[in-house]
Structure 1
Amino acid sequence: MKHYHLMGIGGISMSGLARILRKDGHIVSGCDSQLSDLTRALEREGIRVFQGHSPAHLEGVDVLVASTAIKDSEPELATAHTLGLPVWRRIQVVAEILRGGYSLGVTGSHGKTSTTSMLASIFIAAQTDPTVLLGAELGLIGGSAKVGQGPYRIAEVDESDPLFRFLELDVAVVTNLESDHVSPDGQARPNYHASFEALQDAVRSFAGRARHVVYNGEPGWRLLDGLTQGRPRSSFGLLQGDCHAARMALEPFGSHFELVWQGQTLGPVRLQVPGEHNIVNALAAAAAALVAGVPFEAIQQGLYQYTGASRRFEKVGELNGALIVDDYAHNATKLWALLRAAKNTGLRVRAVFQPHRYGRSEQEWPQYAQALEQADEALILDVYAAGETPLRLTSAQIAGRIVEHLRSSGRAAHYDSWDNILSYLRQTAAPGDLILTIGAGSVYRLGRLLAAHKEAV
């Protein structure tokens, strides 16, 4: 038994780690700059939480846990180094938890949360009582983490943390790979790899340490074939791979298809989440479950009972007959897939997009603009900085370029303030509209404010 102290314990991921460490019999405490409903819930479960950061919190602690975003110069962290106290980053705790059972981890540039959530739903349907770690809340498990009594441990693995390369898993899933979380100036940072080559090397290491690799075998992700060689492996893909779909049909808010595994049609699968990208996510989850020996009937049930994780095409409510949906899509590929699925609903798509991080937005704004061409109307907010400062372009310049591109393509597009966009949508929301709030920052609040309004005043 160890005493783990978690800095930033009020975060969605760290709070989940705290619960699982306590379930595994350890003493757990933590601190955060602000207390919240989440930290109060942890205290009710016997986890002591301090407000603020102080070296005094380290008394009796065996391991200090901090996210990669916390600098070594922070006094609590610096004192731990001075005392010779082990300092672990979040991913190292994830590794410790996964070592406690049969482990399945999902990484990639897109689809991590949805694929991991689907995988959790499958193992719950199989009555295995898994332990689960997610980067978002999932209604099925009542939060971002589930403390299970069974042997299976399932985790979403964030590829932005370079330390993910050292995880050792029974089944490693790689959904896809793009140059997201890659530094625009070649300098490695806590949430950026120095180069795309460095990110690829980390994925190669991640796959090379697994007992079995499940990877995306679609032609668009051909580089994964080279990165996953040398280990037992299985591929998945929409139309090809060891696990693929046949007789696929898209519906406005879901889909159905036949699941094919190693040349054999196992049976029908129905999803309650929209878009081809979610079929691919389901195939990845199904392949990993089949490798682990889960019966197909549990895969059918688990995929059907999955209705989405928090901020993944999440239906927030309505305003004047308009449907309000929130989604985390924060890079160009995610944005494209989301808007493609949204158009398939047959509703008028009104997209409120908040670019996320300056480094990413400066690189991807042309792709954002192309993806947003699928919307009937695009409303652009300022960049959500996430602690970054502009490198070359300001928020207004990034938004202005997106709007200029869209208007030149004949699309309705506007850059405006939060308050003005909120007021505009309250006045114009109407039946037949699908209002999408999109981004990894604070934009989710706007959708909830609209839904709370219910009727324009």
Structure 2
Amino acid sequence: MRIPVPETILPAEQLGRVHFVGIGGAGLSAIARIMLARGIVVSGSDGVDSPTLDRLREAGATVHVGHAAEHVRGADTLVVSTAVREDNPEYVEAVRLGLRIYPRSAGLASVMAGRRVLAVAGTHGKTTTTSLLTVALQAAGADPTYAVGGELAASGTNAAEGGSDLFVAEADESDGAFLVYKPHVAVVTNVEADHLDQWGDEESYRNGFAQFVGRLDPDGLLVAVVDDPGAADLRYVASSLGRRFVGVGESELADVRAVDVVLKGTTSSFTVVDRGGVELGRVMLQIPGRHYVADALAALTVGLRLGYSFELLKAGLESFTGTRRRMERKGDAGGVRVYDSYAHHPAEIAGDLVAARSVAGEGRLIVAFQPHLVSRTRIFGEDMGRALGAADEVVVLDVYLAREDPDPEVTGRLVADAVPLPADRVAFVPGLEEAAAELVRRARPGDLVVTLGAGNVTEVAPRVLALLEGQDA
């Protein structure tokens, strides 16, 4: 459901008691955590219990499992997830009571009020880049507030209140949320058509990023990864608006470059060269993949342009151990390594499989993929299948339904049929249990198993490990 953004968004401290509908999601839980840290009374509800809800309760929130009208009584403001439908009893009751109702984007804007916002946008890589920027600034002594779309592996949380005026935020374009924020620094990792169920067509989607650049402060800065044509084109938008621009990447067009990139096992390393050919030093990341090099370089550049030390920023980047569900190592059993990642767009799948191939070494790469959203699968299903062809064995699950109704014409079979591998190396299975069993049947010692997708495919990895451990027993 799309909740209109009000013309005036009040600072969080003026919202009274705030109730979150869908508080267990990455976006709303981050906002709730920051509000709790500021002493704001927070309540919320979600469809199922989770560790996220437990942590919010520990932080002081009143959290309900299940939705009911009585949960919103006594609240002054409702913040609503995009996944919530119009017949949700809490939303219906809030409308009846005449409560202030904010979409997620307005809720985040309310906690940004009065801060210098560093907003990270892009089709892919937002969560990792936001996380890298956060840890780099923390290492440099900046102590920013942050709100990320995934949990930092080191801290186990997706948000925290900091002691400085900096606010690092993941700026989501999927529903136009990033057009609500007013950043001091904007980062764009890439621009490649996605979320066309919301934007309508590729041109509108790309225009959304141009509008995002237009939201920058008059003295603001845009940092864009110019290896990506869509992000590189934003140079001209920034120039026309009189905004400062720094291009980063491996391209010779970049103002800050990564050169001598080396991908080895679970690490990625590169040398940083600033304008004028000034070599700043070498960075060794604990995460594998060329796309993560670009993410780290963008984060580093923001820190440098804010005046922080290269050596301190580098130390933060090198300490980064990843974000949950971004090429996250889940464990080993039976000589098989198991990773889990959030990749759900063809370009993300391709990038993660390049990284996974480096991790796999001499072993084979066995992948389970769960398509996310009917609309995305309808548009990009065949491209997803082709990207999965970089693996040695592929298991495709059915489409994970989120905020859309099922379509019998659009299933995981569409993806599986497009995988360019021999038929005996591709399987289509409907559910999680079947996927785990199929992965275990195919894997052998030395192999790398990776589960991919934005839905509940993340639950497959622990099942695979349990089955493999059972074989060892």
TM-score normalised by L of structure 1: 0.92
**Which residue pairs with 1:84 in the alignment?**
98
Distance 1:414 1:26, change over 3 A: same
Which of 23, 48, 51 is residue 34 of structure 1 equivalent to?
Answer: 48
Structure 2 residue matching 1:250: 3-state secondary structure: strand
**Which residue pairs with 1:186 in the alignment?**
none
Q: Is the 8 Å Cα contact of residues 48 and 66 (structure 2) preserved in structure 1?
A: yes
Cα deviation code 1:406-452 (max 9, x no counterpart): 338xx822223443442243344322201111111111111111223
Displacement after TM superposition at 1:400 (Å): 4.5
Cα deviation code 1:99-142 (max 9, x no counterpart): 24221111110000111111111011112222111111112232
Q: Is the 8 Å Cα contact of residues 83 and 403 (structure 2) preserved in structure 1?
A: no
Displacement after TM superposition at 1:81 (Å): 2.8
Distance 1:344 1:58, change over 3 A: closer
Displacement after TM superposition at 1:362 (Å): 1.6
1:202-217 residue pairs with structure 2 within 5 A?
202-210=208-216, 211-217=220-226
Give me the whole-angstrom Cα distance separating, in 2, the residues matched to 1:285 and 1:216: 11
Distance 1:396 1:439, change over 3 A: closer
**Which residue pairs with 2:130 in the alignment?**
116
Which of 6, 20, 37 is residue 23 of structure 1 equivalent to?
Answer: 37
**Which residue pairs with 1:188 in the alignment?**
none
Structure 2 residue matching 1:452: 3-state secondary structure: helix
Which range is displaced more, 54-63 or 166-175? Answer: 54-63
Distance 1:179 1:391, change over 3 A: farther
Matched, 1:225 2:238: no
Give me the whole-angstrom Cα distance separating, in 2, the residues matched to 1:81 and 1:154: 32
The one-letter code of the counterpart of 1:437 is T
Which of 400, 410, 414 is residue 398 of structure 1 equivalent to?
Answer: 414
TM-score normalised by L of structure 2: 0.89
Give me the whole-angstrom Cα distance separating, in 2, the residues matched to 1:47 and 1:261: 46
Matched, 1:414 2:414: no
RMSD: 2.1
Give me the whole-angstrom Cα distance separating, in 2, the residues matched to 1:319 and 1:75: 45
**Which residue pairs with 1:384 in the alignment?**
400
1:264-343 residue pairs with structure 2 within 5 A?
264-343=278-357
Structure 1 residue matching 2:308: 3-state secondary structure: coil
Query: Percent identity of the aligned residues?
Result: 35
Distance 1:351 1:36, change over 3 A: closer
Which of 220, 236, 239 is residue 251 of structure 2 equivalent to?
Answer: 239
Structure 2 residue matching 1:160: 3-state secondary structure: coil
Cα deviation code 1:265-301 (max 9, x no counterpart): 1111111111111111111111121222221012210
**Which residue pairs with 2:8 in the alignment?**
none
- Count how many residue pairs are aligned between Structure 1 and Structure 2: 446
Moved over 4 A (4+): none
Matched, 1:425 2:431: no
Displacement after TM superposition at 1:381 (Å): 1.4
Gaps (5+ residues) in structure 1?
A: 184-191
Which of 63, 69, 80 is residue 55 of structure 1 equivalent to?
Answer: 69
The one-letter code of the counterpart of 1:257 is F
Displacement after TM superposition at 1:7 (Å): 1.1
Distance 1:427 1:209, change over 3 A: closer
Which of 339, 349, 354 is residue 370 of structure 2 equivalent to?
Answer: 354
Structure 1 residue matching 2:375: 3-state secondary structure: helix
Give me the whole-angstrom Cα distance separating, in 2, the residues matched to 1:219 and 1:324: 30
The one-letter code of the counterpart of 1:234 is V
Distance 1:361 1:446, change over 3 A: same
Q: Is the 8 Å Cα contact of residues 382 and 399 (structure 1) preserved in structure 2?
A: no
**Which residue pairs with 1:250 in the alignment?**
263
Which range is displaced more, 438-447 or 239-248? Answer: 239-248
**Which residue pairs with 2:456 in the alignment?**
442
The one-letter code of the counterpart of 1:213 is L
Distance 1:373 1:52, change over 3 A: closer
1:65-76 residue pairs with structure 2 within 5 A?
65-76=79-90
Matched, 1:261 2:274: yes
